[in-house]
Amino acid sequence: MRNDSTLLAGEAMFRQVIAAGDYWIDIIKTGQYLRIVDVQGNQAADTLFFNAADVAERYSAVDTIRAQRNVYLGFGSKLLSTAGNVMAEIVADTVGRHDTLGGACASESNTVRYALDKRTMHACRDSYLLAVAQHDRLGLGKRDLSHNINFFMNVPVTTDGGLTFADGLSGPGHYVEMRAGMDIIVLISNCPQLNNPCNAYNPTPLEVLIWDSNVQ
């Protein structure tokens, strides 16, 4: 279900474009709003969430799916942690459905899904590893990279329980917006995948915007 935001981009306290194949990582404070924008459409934002006070508590796909009885995220979805706490809630969404099952691409999955010569292609897992290495002050390491959300990505579940990668449902300027339920570390990989239609075989920029908690 589509639900547009009332927040104005010109009033955001922070704006940054994430280049195709790049990453973004920062702390979002309790009550702040985070918007991820699909600038040109059909791009995938592979996103991880951690409790900034204790990174052992992180986004849980299992708990989130079970609580909402839905494998897809959209307006009103609450992102639950491994401790069952609300990390963030989707308060605006112009796409209507976001993937929780497809995971992040890696050199290993590129090899298995596509071909041996795809192993050396840049993948989201590489972006995650680079991010935690370059921002070690946040206390994250390789072992903390668990299941992610694929905002804007379309991964239908087949009748026999399998997954397929289909053209995205998003378009230029579409976005998803969340309000933080605790201080969270947000790590986004702007997916560099060239082998499936998650981003029309052509990675494009994303944009992140942040508003303070007192904006509304």
pLDDT at 111: 55
In whole angstroms, what is the distance from residue 32 CA to residue 179 CA?
A: 6
Q: Is residue 3 part of a domain?
A: no
**Is the pLDDT reported for residue 117 higher than 60?**
no
Q: What is the pTM of this model?
A: 0.89
pLDDT at 153: 82
Residue written as tokens 């691409």?
A: 105
**Is the pLDDT reported for residue 78 higher than 90?**
yes
**199 within 8 A of 193, measured Cβ to Cβ:** yes
Q: Is residue 8 part of a domain?
A: no
Q: Is residue 149 part of a domain?
A: yes
Mean pLDDT (whole number) for 95-107:
79
**Is the pLDDT reported for residue 82 higher than 80?**
yes
pLDDT at 160: 73
pLDDT tens-digit series, residues 181-196: 999 999 999 986 666 6
Q: Work out the mean pLDDT of the chain and round it to a whole number.
A: 87
CA angle 66, 68, 70 (to 5 degrees): 85
**Is the pLDDT reported for residue 48 higher than 50?**
yes
CA distance readout (Å), 118 to 148, 183, 191, 194: 22, 37, 15, 10
DSSP-derived letter for residue 68 is H
Q: Is residue 4 part of a domain?
A: no
DSSP-derived letter for residue 55 is T
**170 within 8 A of 38, measured Cβ to Cβ:** yes
**pLDDT band at residue 143 using 50, 70 and 90 as cut-offs:** very high
Q: Is residue 7 part of a domain?
A: no
Which of 154, 209, 215, 147 minimizes the C-alpha distance to 177? 209
Mean pLDDT (whole number) for 62-81:
94
Complete edge-to-edge strand list for the sheet that includes strand 86-93: 14-18, 206-211, 33-38, 174-180, 86-93, 78-80
Q: Is residue 108 part of a domain?
A: yes
Encoded amino acid at 125, one letter: R
pLDDT tens-digit series, residues 20-36: 989 999 999 999 999 99
pLDDT at 194: 65
Q: Measured on CA atoms in the order 62, 84, 60, 17, is the torsion positive or negative?
A: positive
pLDDT at 110: 54
In whole angstroms, what is the distance from residue 130 CA to residue 145 CA?
A: 12
**Is the pLDDT reported for residue 66 higher than 90?**
yes
Mean pLDDT (whole number) for 153-179:
78
CA angle 14, 100, 47 (to 5 degrees): 25
Which of 203, 7, 179, 182 minimizes the C-alpha distance to 124? 203
In whole angstroms, what is the distance from residue 88 CA to residue 96 CA?
A: 17
pLDDT at 116: 46
Residue written as tokens 């029309």?
A: 200
Q: How many structural domains are present in the chain?
A: 1
**pLDDT band at residue 109 using 50, 70 and 90 as cut-offs:** low
Q: Measured on CA atoms in the order 18, 20, 25, 31, is the torsion positive or negative?
A: positive
**pLDDT band at residue 83 using 50, 70 and 90 as cut-offs:** very high
Q: Is residue 26 part of a domain?
A: yes
Q: Is residue 1 part of a domain?
A: no
Q: Measured on CA atoms in the order 94, 48, 70, 89, is the torsion positive or negative?
A: negative
Segments forming the whole domain that contains residue 46: 13-215
